[in-house]
Amino acid sequence: MTTTTGRAAGMGQPTATGRFGEFGGRYVPEALVPACAEVEEAFRAAWADPAFVGRYHDLLRDYAGRPTPVTECARLSEELGVRVLLKREDLTHTGSHKINNVIGQGLLTVAMGKRRVIAETGAGQHGVATATAAALLGLSCTVYMGELDMARQELNVFRMRLLGADVVAVRSGSRTLKDAVNEAMRAWVSEVDTTHYCLGSVMGPHPYPWMVRELQRVIGDEAREQCRALLGGTDPDVVVACVGGGSNAAGTFAGFVSGSARLVGVEAAGGSAVGRGVPGVLHGMRSLLLQDETGQIKEAESISAGLDYPGIGPEHAYLAGTGRAEYAAAGDDEVLDALQLLARTEGIIPALEPAHALAWLARSARDGSVPAGSTVLLTMSGRGDKDAEAVMGILGGSAARP
């Protein structure tokens, strides 16, 4: 096994100021500095405390349904000529990997003596997960969501309200995920004493990119052991996951980064921060961002509300720079095709977000850039129920492509 160990190539702790290479940091107004420092200190202590970590893993097991299986996809593998294994985050309670993060941050909220959480959401999965953890732990919860996303993800809005959360429509800017983050940060400043900001991906100011990756690394840690059991002690050749902010990908990569697997993150073509972004500062972090030549942030555009974000977590920007991971993009049409392909070959309807990773895999297997016979682990970050209505709207009655 070739190893690229050591801090530069691995996924260790960021520097004391929260940097991964040049990326990361804590670019927040003075009023939020003490709160970010408090979260960092609390998480550092909690993550080193066996009682906290034990409670987190107990809840992941007994409440969220972990470990999630790795599913061998015989018919899809035959179709693509590569051996496809899916890490089934879609089978968790609430239907996506977001639950891993919110169970951790929910417990942290309690440990910090706070009784309230706020969150941003795009697809609504993080909002639903946060509302769920809040209900479980007896916390009050407000979720900020772009007006456009509320229309695209009506079902999730209803689920959040059913779970007792307030959902606040964000009407500024592009009315999507980026604006929901803006509004959540504004709200946090005014209630920072009593409220924890439960950020949903590996983005934002330090310690969030690191903390959320740690809370998601259970995906990669489980998958590595499961793959080794299936593959006679070796890692897959390729490990691929979709990237919005990048939390399911970061959690997956964390399990494989010290091995030799090729790591691939797939962004939405209309939100490809690695492909078309340049370094900048937004939402508390320095990272790669879609922006114009004067520094105004551009609006991402994607069929998938969860990938509709003009940036990427700073650790991904760093991994792209070192070359340890590579980042590709998938467009709306091939994503819809991939969604249907998985549905019909495996009986699994994926969310639109992981359908991006599938689309990349289908394309790469067909053009040979993932060689025939390769073994590929793909993180199935969420199930497709939330998107069924939107996809139905696009495909109409003809969801029966050849």
Partner 1 sequence: MSAPSRRGVALEAALRARRDAGAKLLVTYVTGGLTPDWVDYLQVMVEAGADAVEVGLPFSDPILDGPTIQEASARALALGTTPTGVLGALAGREQPVPLVVMTYYNLVFRAGLERFAGRLVEAGVTGAIVPDIPLEESGPWEQAAAAAGVAAVLLAAPVTPDDRLAELCRRSRGFLYGVNLMGVTGERSSLSGSAAALARRMKAHTDLPVVMGFGISTPEQAAAAASDADGVVVASALVRAVLDGASVAEIGDRVGALRAALDRG
Residues lying near partner 1 in the complex (CB under 8 A): 17, 25-31, 33-35, 172-173, 178-179, 182, 185-186, 189-193, 278-283, 286, 289, 291, 293-297
Residues 289-308 that bind ligand PLP (CB under 6 A): 306-307
Total residues binding ligand PLP (CB under 6 A): 20
Contact call for residue 201 and ligand PLP (CB under 6 A): yes
Residue 353: contacted member of ligand PLP, partner 1, none (CB under 5 to 8 Å, by partner type): ligand PLP
Contact call for residue 126 and ligand PLP (CB under 6 A): yes
Which among 283, 113, 101, 128 is positioned nearest to 195, based on CA atoms? Answer: 113
- What is the rounded CA–CA span in Å between residue 382 and residue 355? 9
Which among 24, 34, 18, 26 is positioned nearest to 189, based on CA atoms? Answer: 34
Closest approach, Cβ 336 to ligand PLP, in A, equals 16
Q: Give the number of residues written for the chain.
A: 402
- What is the rounded CA–CA span in Å between residue 234 and residue 254? 16
Residues with Cβ within 8 Å of residue 288, at least 6 apart in sequence: 23, 273, 274, 277, 278, 279, 280, 311, 312, 317, 320
> Residues 36, 57, 93, 97: which is the catalytic one?
97
Q: How far apart are the first and last CA of the chain?
A: 41
CB 218 within 8 A of CB 255: no
Over 67-130, what HEC string results?
A: CCCEEECHHHHHHHCCEEEEEEHHHCCCCECHHHHHHHHHHHHHHCCCCEEEEEECCCHHHHHH
Residue 306: contacted member of partner 1, ligand PLP, none (CB under 5 to 8 Å, by partner type): ligand PLP
Contact call for residue 125 and ligand PLP (CB under 6 A): yes
Closest approach, Cβ 254 to ligand PLP, in A, equals 13
- What is the rounded CA–CA span in Å between residue 195 and residue 184? 11
- What is the rounded CA–CA span in Å between residue 398 and residue 329? 26
Closest approach, Cβ 3 to ligand PLP, in A, equals 26
- What is the rounded CA–CA span in Å between residue 275 and residue 150? 28
Q: Kindly tell me which of 89 and 179 has the beta carbon lying closer to partner 1.
A: 179
CB 63 within 8 A of CB 325: no
Residue 238: contacted member of ligand PLP, partner 1, none (CB under 5 to 8 Å, by partner type): none
The verdict on whether 242 is a catalytic residue reads no
Show the tokens assigned to 69.
Answer: 């299986």
Closest approach, Cβ 294 to partner 1, in A, equals 5
Phi-psi region of 397 (alpha: psi -120 to 50; beta: other; left: phi over 0): alpha
Residue 71: contacted member of ligand PLP, partner 1, none (CB under 5 to 8 Å, by partner type): none
Q: Kindly tell me which of 10 and 173 has the beta carbon lying closer to partner 1.
A: 173
> Residues 73, 141, 227, 242: which is the catalytic one?
73
Show the tokens assigned to 161.
Answer: 């309200």
Residue 283: contacted member of ligand PLP, partner 1, none (CB under 5 to 8 Å, by partner type): partner 1
Out of 106, 122, 204, 209, name the contact with ligand PLP by CB under 6 A: 122
Give the nearest residue (CB) to ligand PLP. 382
Residue 25: contacted member of partner 1, ligand PLP, none (CB under 5 to 8 Å, by partner type): partner 1
The verdict on whether 73 is a catalytic residue reads yes
Site map 338..367 versus ligand PLP, x via CB under 6 A: -------------x-xx-------------
Residues that are catalytic: 73, 97
**Which residues sit at the interface with ligand PLP, rule CB under 6 A?**
96, 122-123, 125-126, 201, 242-248, 306-307, 351, 353-354, 381-382
